[in-house]
Chains A and B, each alone.
Chain A
């Protein structure tokens, strides 16, 4: 990315090849912070904080372990399929997706796409400065708003009609994010909640959507699914696991 203006190779053994060379390389290295901002000694200031954090987590987990016992059911029996057969909570988002799409899409393509997107996030040099999404000239703003709702409409159609059922845990958060992202286009307020929304960048909105979708899918899978993966209400039918 950055060209080397002048590079020279020093010998391996400085005594055998006594050459001194000045090397000016335009290599990008993060500078050790040279600003005049306040610093403290790592020992004790950081170490004591780390110790406290470690002890707090340990205490929490020890107390949890004393109060709540992990589940242990009957011995595994391939002949007897439980209904519903639920994975641990962090997989229930994926399992919920299985309800809408065949395993190839929900279990392979979508997770791969998510991991792939996460990996390329820093390399796709889109908006590296994380400029506010709502920034720009009036013409630019109109164009961005148009794209936002075009994308929202397209994604809504995809998730309404491509699955075995309409994928509401994806569409709901999509509209929530799109509406929030639209607010700064309607008002020029610089402060308060609107100001907060106005400073958010496009990457923020995309990740926020991802976060809400993951949460919604997981919550539905954990609390609102019963036998045959049918919709249940936890306060009426209890929580199945």
Chain B
């Protein structure tokens, strides 16, 4: 205890964290308030708001899945070349050459499935709670955008292994884009960088999947969480009133 107090009082520690050990409510408040990552939270929260059954933590779990995807995705990027047939060979290397390569790929894949499900369930939870109503209507719209981005991320990622599964799943989707009246063939050409799914499509999907879409999603999530705060925290029915779904 003595040493801990010495450390938290040291000049180096104080330059990093400007408050003492969080053993008083003042320091606990400062721990949240003066930390860049924690200050999305208010210093105090209503007990009802943090109950598991209120949100099932689905928004937070969506974020957690996204975090796991970014970490495992970055590691996959160290091994992956977006070219034909190298992309497929890299999958085989992950399987037979890279230590824990299969695990890495599995983690990224299952996290992606989990994220799609969690985001959809989160949307459903928010709807049934009636939390989309004013003043939260715009945050709901941002949410819909996040859902679309999540689906697009999983769609673009699906092509990257360049196996039969990838190729034909993406074919189904590209043909849907083709069906847009008048603009369809242009939309498909823009998406694939050609009229068929080939190496050009792979590099486009790679850039969308690893750069553009994740960055848009990150910014979208930041705005979304900021709005949760600005809209007065998560929605709770007025005390004493029941739910009114």
**Are A and B associated in one complex?**
yes
Q: Tally A residues with Cβ within 8 Å of B.
A: 76
Contacts A50-B60, A72-B91 known; 10 new A-B pairs at CB < 8 A: A30-B135, A35-B239, A42-B42, A53-B61, A74-B163, A76-B162, A87-B158, A130-B244, A199-B243, A201-B244
Q: Does B18 contact A (CB under 8 A)?
A: no
Q: Which residues of B contact A128 (CB under 8 A)?
A: 133-134
CA gap between A201 and B154 in the complex, in Å = 34
Residue from the list A66, A72, A211 in contact with B163, Cβ < 8 A: A72
Task: Return the chain B residue nearest A94 by Cβ.
Answer: B176
* Interface residue ranges of A12-39 to B (CB < 8 Å): 28-33, 35, 37-39
A62 pairs with B107, CB closer than 8 A: yes
Task: Return the chain B residue nearest A67 by Cβ.
Answer: B106
Contact with A along B203-245 (1 / 0, CB 8 A): 0000000000000000000000000001111000011000111
B175 pairs with A122, CB closer than 8 A: no
A46 pairs with B107, CB closer than 8 A: no
Q: Does B9 contact A (CB under 8 A)?
A: no
A28-B135, A37-B48, A42-B45 known; A107+B179 contact, CB < 8 A: yes
Q: Which residues of A contact B192 (CB under 8 A)?
A: none
Q: Which residues of B contact A192 (CB under 8 A)?
A: none
CA gap between A28 and B230 in the complex, in Å = 12
Q: Does A230 contact B (CB under 8 A)?
A: no
Task: Return the chain B residue nearest A54 by Cβ.
Answer: B64
**Which of A77-85, A161-169, A179-187 is the interface stretch?**
A77-85
What is the minimal beta-carbon distance from A59 to any residue of chain B, in angstroms? Answer: 11
B232 pairs with A41, CB closer than 8 A: no
Task: Return the chain A residue nearest B233 by Cβ.
Answer: A33
B245 pairs with A43, CB closer than 8 A: no
Q: Does B196 contact A (CB under 8 A)?
A: yes
Task: Return the chain A residue nearest B179 by Cβ.
Answer: A103
A30-B135, A42-B41, A65-B103 known; A58+B64 contact, CB < 8 A: yes
A39-B44, A70-B110, A122-B140 known; A91+B25 contact, CB < 8 A: no
B164 pairs with A82, CB closer than 8 A: yes
- A interface residues with partner B (beta carbon < 8 Å): 28-33, 35, 37-47, 49-50, 53-54, 57-58, 61-62, 64-66, 68-78, 80-82, 85-91, 94-95, 98, 102-104, 106-108, 115, 118-119, 121-123, 128-131, 199-201, 203-204, 207, 211
Residue from the list B68, B116, B140, B233 in contact with A121, Cβ < 8 A: B140
B245 pairs with A61, CB closer than 8 A: no
6 A-B residue pairs with CB within 8 Å:
A41-B25, A65-B107, A88-B158, A90-B151, A122-B132, A201-B244
Q: Which residues of B contact A129 (CB under 8 A)?
A: 244
What is the minimal beta-carbon distance from B93 to any residue of chain A, in angstroms? Answer: 12
Contact with A along B18-47 (1 / 0, CB 8 A): 000010010011011000001001111111
B116 pairs with A90, CB closer than 8 A: yes
Q: Does B75 contact A (CB under 8 A)?
A: no
B50 pairs with A49, CB closer than 8 A: yes
Residue from the list A74, A103, A123, A204 in contact with B245, Cβ < 8 A: A204
CA gap between A199 and B88 in the complex, in Å = 54
Q: Does B10 contact A (CB under 8 A)?
A: no
A42-B45, A85-B171 known; A200+B245 contact, CB < 8 A: yes
Contact with A along B157-177 (1 / 0, CB 8 A): 010011111111101110111
B232 pairs with A33, CB closer than 8 A: yes
B44 pairs with A76, CB closer than 8 A: no
Residue from the list A40, A73, A85, A121 in contact with B47, Cβ < 8 A: A40
Task: Return the chain A residue nearest B137 by Cβ.
Answer: A122
